[in-house]
Amino acid sequence: MSEFLVVQIERRIATLTLTRPQALNALNAAVLRGIRLFFTAAEHREDVGAVIITGDGEKAFAAGADIAEIAACTPAQALELARNGQAVFGAIERFSKPVIAAVNGYALGGGCELALACHLRLASTNAKFGLPEAGLGLIPGWGGTQRLPRLVGAGRALELILSGKTIGAGEALRMGLVNAVTEPAALLSTAREWLSAILTKAPLSLAGALEAVRKGMDQPLDQGLETEAEVFSRLFATEDMREGCAAFLEKRKAGFKGR
């Protein structure tokens, strides 16, 4: 997969750790390729029900793209670079199982965009977020100009993108960039607690909810409601829906099978 990624799987939760601490876990071509390969394979793995993405150490989640690797790109090469990064992060966003970014330390540039592509974001108190590309004569190119406004609103997003400033975990929480903040020592255990609770729900319901929200965000309300109705009705053909309703009526714990 990649020498810069480590995967651990426990109780159907896969933890994907970026391991380039000497480069603050910067996202080079090998890391992006490894992330893409992992999510492609994990989509079909029964032992993976959810994913945590984090960075090695407390200094950085991912401190952006590897500038040394991309600085000499031609415009044509930069277009390919942008499309490749967008495709990798799009695979995360479209993943049918919940993904949490457990943000420890710096999440700058491409690292911030990686966190934005995840379904949920949990930050440690030492986390720092920013999109500093304007200071390099660039703009965010891996989804930052699109996902951040959808998450926090255009005004807040432009404040970060135009100024290139770095914000702490508290401000990120106040503006809605992250879901919660925890102490660094509790970051991964909290992420696992969240996912353990989520994984008690029906797998097809989780996938359906992720699909409906993702598609609906890019649709007018009436189309989004139609998407919701289609996913809702589709679930009535599943064994898990019948099991969930039966368990509720019989006052017992449901045994979901993902079918």
* Helix and strand element counts for the chain (H, E): 11, 10
Q: What secondary structure letter does DSSP report for 204?
A: H
The token pair that represents 170 in the structure block: 């508290």
Length of the chain measured in residues: 259
- Do 60 and 21 touch, CB atoms closer than 8 A? yes
d(CA 110, CA 85): 9
Q: What secondary structure letter does DSSP report for 241?
A: H
Query: Of 3, 58, 80, 133, which one is the catalytic site residue?
Result: 133
The reply to whether 133 belongs to the active site is: yes
Strand partners, 128: 106, 168
Query: Of 80, 93, 113, 228, which one is the catalytic site residue?
Result: 113
Dihedral angle, C-alpha 82, 83, 84, 89, nearest 10 °: 90
Give residue 64's identity as a one-letter amino acid code: G
d(CA 198, CA 122): 15
The reply to whether 80 belongs to the active site is: no
Identify the CA nearest to 19 among candidates 3, 33, 30, 40: 3
- Active-site annotation, residues: 113, 133
